[in-house]
Amino acid sequence: MDRLLLALAIVVVAAVVALIARRRRVPDAPTQTTHQVPDQLDRRDFAPLVDEVSREAEWLLVVFTSATCHTCADMATKAKVLAGPQVAVVEVEYVAHRDLHQRYRIDAVPTTVFADAQGVVRASFLGRVSATDLWAEVADVREPGSRPERQCEGHGH
């Protein structure tokens, strides 16, 4: 009987020590993911996706998307409003154009990039952006200084 009590006491002490050690252990920090946006596009890669009217457009707005992403559909809709003779807008869906996602190392969607005639990315967004912010950024890149300075409420700067 004494041996049984001694064995039980050792088990209880070991369990308490293990519980205390587990509570004191600091969990690992979460993995920090960094998503990259291309700095340069080869506009020839997107020519087959652009309509006839916009092929010669000076600016190219590309929205990298996925069919399973609701935010992507929203961003593509906001971008398409900007399409015209000066701005070509292209949606590059992952399943349909996996090669372009891989070529430009797109690992998060939606990724939206705005490139000039040479393919240099002048503005970019990761994730959801309001239509106002997207349109204002595109306007400011096309015509610097066209966006009014943001005012901090109650501070006048």
Domain range annotation of the chain: 43-142
Quote the distance between the C-alpha of residue 14 and its chain's center: 48
d(CA 11, CA 64): 58
In this structure, are residues 123 and 115 in contact, taking their beta carbons and an 8 Å threshold?
Answer: no
**Beta-carbon count within 10 A of 108 CB:** 15
Q: In whole angstroms, what is the distance from residue 7 CA to residue 1 CA?
A: 10
Query: What is the Cα Rg of the chain in Å?
Result: 27
Return per-residue pLDDT of the chain as tens, 157 residues. 778 777 778 888 888 887 777 777 766 666 666 788 999 999 999 999 987 767 789 999 999 999 999 999 999 999 999 998 999 999 999 999 999 999 999 999 999 999 999 999 999 999 999 999 999 999 999 888 876 665 444 444 4
Domain 43-142 classification at class level: alpha beta
Query: Between vectors from CA 143 to CA 141 and to CA 145, what angle results, nearest 5°?
Result: 90
Residue range 106-146, pLDDT digits in tens:
999 999 999 999 999 999 999 999 999 999 999 999 888 87
Could you tell me the pTM of the whole model?
0.73
Residues in the chain, how many? 157
